[in-house]
């Protein structure tokens, strides 16, 4: 397969076949899924997720998703579990075993050990009648008719199904817990994602210089203020209140239209009623306001008083854009 059309055909076939399998999972959601959610929600322990091979890889992703959405979870490799890692499981923990067939040797050894410890055990399997399915307290049915692999061997559709079931678990638990964007920010303080949820406008504006002039400031001093503060803008302020704004663009337009510039002051050049934002607003709100209005700076107010400038470059630097 080395031609463009064949590659595109295979890629589309893979995506469509897996999407059909995922859609079918919705028909498999039953009381066992509900009981699993309630068991985890009311548990005083963690969720221990185990598997082997590709299922182990899926388990690590589900663990990560649960942890990031407020449900404490730990990954335990099935092979390592029977060689000492069973000590990870505490009395109140709920165990989820992932296995497409439900009959792998490691699972057959591990399951009785979990049962002996009296922990609630959930099977995430494509075979409800397997050893794992028969031994589990509840079964999350991840049945797929076949792998999209042309040999029906490589875990492809089945691992996608496992992943989707894991996402369904996480989202149901998230909603039950009333997990909010503020909660999410606590678990994601780093990176652009976290910053969108907690970074405030004043976190950015307070590290900038604070350009300002009065309405009577001369044109020369306006230019000096904009140049020295290096934000391409200055606020026009009277009694601590914003009454206007002057940008680099305003200066250029004024110079192209006016010959007698010596008598001009800030109030002759400024644009009134400029866009502004509260100091305690989220930085992401500043980004949206800039995008809506096609501007690169916003004046910042704190309780109605001029507090500084937030610039598009600040948002880019912090990864908000």
> Which residues are annotated binding-site positions for Zn(2+)?
77
Distances (CA, A) of 114 to 79, 127, 270: 14, 19, 73
d(CA 43, CA 36): 11
Q: Which residues contact 310 (CB under 8 A, 6 or more apart)?
A: 201, 204, 205, 208, 277, 283, 286, 297, 298, 300
Rounded CA Rg of the chain: 30
Contacts with 131 (C-beta within 8 Å, 6 or more apart), sequence order: 102, 103, 107, 108, 111
Burial class (CB in 10 A: 0-12, 13-18, 19+), 138: buried
- Please report the DSSP string for 217-252 in residue order: -BHHHHHHHHHHHTSSEEEEEETTEEEEEEEHHHHH
Contact 98, 58 (CB under 8 A): yes
Would you list the DSSP string of 7-48? HHHHHHHHHHHHHHHHHHHGGG--HHHHHHHHHHHH-SS-EE
For every residue of 99-163, DSSP letters joined together read ESSS--HHHHHHHHHHHHTT-EEEEEES-TTSHHHHHSSEEEE---S--SSTTS-SSSHHHHHHH
Residues within the annotated binding site?
77
Strand, coil or helix: what is 58?
helix
């Amino acid at each position: 397969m080395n031609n463009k059309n064949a590659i595109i055909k295979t890629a589309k076939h893979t995506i469509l076949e897996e999407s059909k399998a995922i859609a079918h999972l919705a028909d498999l959601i039953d009381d066992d899924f509900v009981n699993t959610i309630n068991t985890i929600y009311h548990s005083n322990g963690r969720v221990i997720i185990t598997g082997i091979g590709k299922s182990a890889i899926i388990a690590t992703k589900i663990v990560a998703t649960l942890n990031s959405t407020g449900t404490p979870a730990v990954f335990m490799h099935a092979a390592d579990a029977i060689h000492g890692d069973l000590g990870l499981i505490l009395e109140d923990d709920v165990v989820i075993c992932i296995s497409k067939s439900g009959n792998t040797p490691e699972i057959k050894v591990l399951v009785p050990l979990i049962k002996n410890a009296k922990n609630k055990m959930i099977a995430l399997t494509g075979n409800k009648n397997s050893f794992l399915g028969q031994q589990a307290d509840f079964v999350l049915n991840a049945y797929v008719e076949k792998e999209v692999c042309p040999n029906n061997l490589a875990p492809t559709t089945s691992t996608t199904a496992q992943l989707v079931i894991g996402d369904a678990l996480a989202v149901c638990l998230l909603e039950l817990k009333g997990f909010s964007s503020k909660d999410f920010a606590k678990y994601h303080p780093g990176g652009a994602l976290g910053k969108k949820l907690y970074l405030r406008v004043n976190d950015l504006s307070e590290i900038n210089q604070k350009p300002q002039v009065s309405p009577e400031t001369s044109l020369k001093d306006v230019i000096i203020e904009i140049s020295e503060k290096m934000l391409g803008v200055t606020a026009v302020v009277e009694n601590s209140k914003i009454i206007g704004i002057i940008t680099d663009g305003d200066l250029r337009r004024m110079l192209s239209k006016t010959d007698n510039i010596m008598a001009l002051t800030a109030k002759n050049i400024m644009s009134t009623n400029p866009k502004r934002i509260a100091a305690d607003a989220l930085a992401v709100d500043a980004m949206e306001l800039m995008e809506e209005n096609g501007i690169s700076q916003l004046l910042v107010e704190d309780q109605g008083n001029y507090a500084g400038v937030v610039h598009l470059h600040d948002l880019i630097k912090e990864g908000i854009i």
